[in-house]
Amino acid sequence: MFDKVLVANRGEIAVRVIRACQEIGVRTVAVHSDADRLSPHVLLAGEAVRIGPAPASESYLDMDAVIGAARETDAEAIHPGYGFMAESPEFARRVSDAGLVFIGPPAEAIAEMGNKTAARARMVEAGVPVVPGSDALVDAEQGRIEGDRIGWPVMLKAAAGGGGKGMRIVEGPDDLPRALDAAAREAGQAFGDSRVYLEKYLPDPRHIEIQVLADSFGRVVHLGERECSIQRRHQKLIEESPSVVVDADLREQMGGVAVAAAEAVGYVGAGTVEFLYQDENFFFLEMNTRIQVEHPVTEFVTGVDLVQEQIRVAAGLPLSVKVSADWPRGHAIECRISGEDPLGGFFPSSGTIRALEVPCGPGVRWDGGIMEHFEVGLHYDPLLGKLITHAPTRDEAILRMRRALRELQIEGVRTTQPFHLAVMDEPDFRSGKFSVRYIERHPDLLEPREDDWQARAAVVAAALLEHRSRAGGSPLQASTAASRPGHGISEWRRRLGSGG
């Protein structure tokens, strides 16, 4: 096992990796920009190294700075987390060339699965079902020819990346030229590669993915599926495991295809094979060659620590996973808590975390990258943390999530918490009748609810109470909110709810 690992990331995933290392006796090194010098991941790690100013291009995306920090601290390996350079074959190669271990798949596998058109071709060779599509387009005329062959409508997609960047739905050939220009421009800005390709547009699919693990001894296993259909602009918001539409037979069928996909590229480490599912058919979408944001739901229903397995495999050890016939055990749900205002078009919100109260109790997990007095800026992804619940049944997991969301308090920035609360009460979500068009079909979820107005009134009331106590109010008033503003907010919420 490694003695020391450098974590080349920030936020909640850096905290998650550091904790995983600490539990197996591995020392850790954090890297940070100037904006993150007092971030939780920096304070939690054994050592920390500044790698540049706030812009990611000058810090977290600076390969020389990150590799230099590993050398400076005598780290033996680098864990990239997700995002930033996690799926950069160049970074993986440069880490290896520096005599360090990249905790992830081989650079060749990253490159092959990162190029979406090449990945599609490789999956066809491996017998994996794929959505009908094209190679990278040369121009709009080729796009029209391919669109006629595939059948309109079609989806334009970036050849070098995912996450919703460079994606456009094209209803017919007349709409193609403008959409092609916009998609290519966005893909170039996001990935440095403006190539795009066409894929048959499925109007009402579910997004289901399979978690795989592979070691260097040739063993590849799958750990079941995650349902990721609750999305906005192709960005996942809520994930769960298992999926309500996947039975044991379909799970093994999809899992077998995912294992075949990993074996086809010589995969090693943790990865996710994503599928679109519609009308009882599933199609390969892409493979993410890294740990996923939503990995905790799989950990809950299998009991496997995916990050520790990543580290074991990178250290040259075999997988310790013992696949169980009783997986999945219970049901798990994850809500991504982001610094965005869902009532204002998910516009990013910045500010200082004035108070933070994290829910706890049986079957509740908080993976966070913030703390009180933490400054939330606009330099990085708005994800603040993830709230995950686990229970014997889906209904119980939803009720537990609703309770946990009501207990979670983040004061100082607007978050997606109200949206998640609304979803937990929505009948179609509760019954499992949804697809990737869920939010489009439920615009009311993005409208204020009575609870939202009560919460805002509570914040104002708590602020006034805090001001009065600091100005010399009565001891009772001061004690209500003196230690932490969140306590005062909780008290005012209780009074509002009871009519007090």
* Other Cβ atoms within 10 Å of 57 Cβ, number: 9
Let me know if 290 is a catalytic residue.
yes
Catalytic residue among 168, 290, 354, 414: 290
Task: State the helix-helix crossing angle for 89-97 and 107-114, rounded to 10 degrees.
Answer: 170
Helices (H) and strands (E) in the chain, counts: 18, 23
Of how many residues is the chain composed? 500
Burial of 91 (0-12, 13-18, 19+ CB in 10 A): buried
Query: Which among 145, 140, 134, 150 has a CA at the least distance from the CA of 179?
Result: 140
Q: What is the dihedral of CA 305, 14, 370, 302, to 10 degrees?
A: -10
CA distances from 474 to 152, 458, 468, 478, 489 (A): 70, 20, 9, 6, 18
Q: Are strands 133-136 and 47-52 parallel, antiparallel or unpaired?
A: unpaired
Task: Give the list of residues 6+ apart from residue 101 with CB closer than 8 angstroms, or none.
Answer: 2, 76, 77, 78, 95, 314, 315
Q: Cite the active site residues.
A: 290
